[in-house]
Amino acid sequence: MLIRFGFVMVSMAALAFAQDGVNPALRPPKGAQVAIVVFEDLQCPRCRQDAPLVRQAAATYKIPVVRHDFPLPMHNWSFDAAVIAHYFDSHSKQLGNEFRDYIFEHQLEIFPTTLRQFAQKFASDHNIDLPFVVDPQGKFAAEVNAEREVGKTLNLQHTPTIYVVSSKSHGKPFVEVTDDTQLYQAIEAVKAE
């Protein structure tokens, strides 16, 4: 939502950021008190390892997971996989996340030359057509780049980067989980604040 102030258009997210100093990416989705926010690279082995833990923690605490694609330049197919994930997001966010999990499941079998085959199988299994050119106007690539830019504003240094975030305006509104064995404790601490 944009609000006009004189000659300047300001998004509601930018206003919230200006008011409380918290990047809007580190807030839970509307209606949620607590959430997990994760920046991940679909070719990152650690992301593959942590994805089931994040899913399980979200299910245990009944909190949402907000996933952002943050493909790293050293990985040779992760950007393309993120673009395809955004294609599936355009059908439904759940489908896009299922694709991300499918890619993690098969990560060790995927190469730049086989990514399309895996995406095609996923699409077929879900009765969806995968166009020959997935992103002809560059819309999905722009979305991936925008998510990567958000990560850069947070000074991300690695993937996965996992945060437990809160809608509260006092205390610490987010905590970065640097040790995945501490994810449950971080959720408990943020919920208790």
Q: Would residue 77 count as lying in a domain?
A: yes
More confident: 43 or 21: 43
Q: Would residue 52 count as lying in a domain?
A: yes
The residue segments making up the domain with residue 129 are: 26-192
Q: Is the pLDDT of residue 17 over 70?
A: no
Q: Is the pLDDT of residue 131 over 90?
A: yes
pLDDT the model gives residue 20: 52
- Tell me, what CATH number does 124's domain have? 3.40.30.10
Q: Would residue 14 count as lying in a domain?
A: no
Mean pLDDT over 109-116 rounds to: 98
What's the total number of domains in the chain? 1
* Mode of pairing for the β-strands spanning 65-69 and 34-40: parallel
Give the percent of the chain with pLDDT over 90. 83
**Residue 93: Cβ within 10 Å count:** 12
pTM of the model: 0.86
More confident: 54 or 169: 54
Q: Would residue 17 count as lying in a domain?
A: no
pLDDT digits (tens, 9 = 90+) for 29-82: 999 999 999 999 999 999 999 999 999 999 999 999 999 999 999 999 999 999
The mean of the pLDDT values for the chain is 90
Tokens 């920046």 found at: 39
Q: Which of 16-25, 109-118, 138-147, 173-182 has the lowest mean pLDDT?
A: 16-25
Q: Would residue 176 count as lying in a domain?
A: yes
Q: Would residue 76 count as lying in a domain?
A: yes
* pLDDT level of residue 168 (50, 70, 90 thresholds): confident
- Asked if 24 and 13 touch (Cβ cutoff 8 Å), the reply is yes
| Chain centroid offset of residue 52 CA | 14
Phi and psi angles of residue 34, each rounded to the nearest 5 degrees, phi first: -140, 145
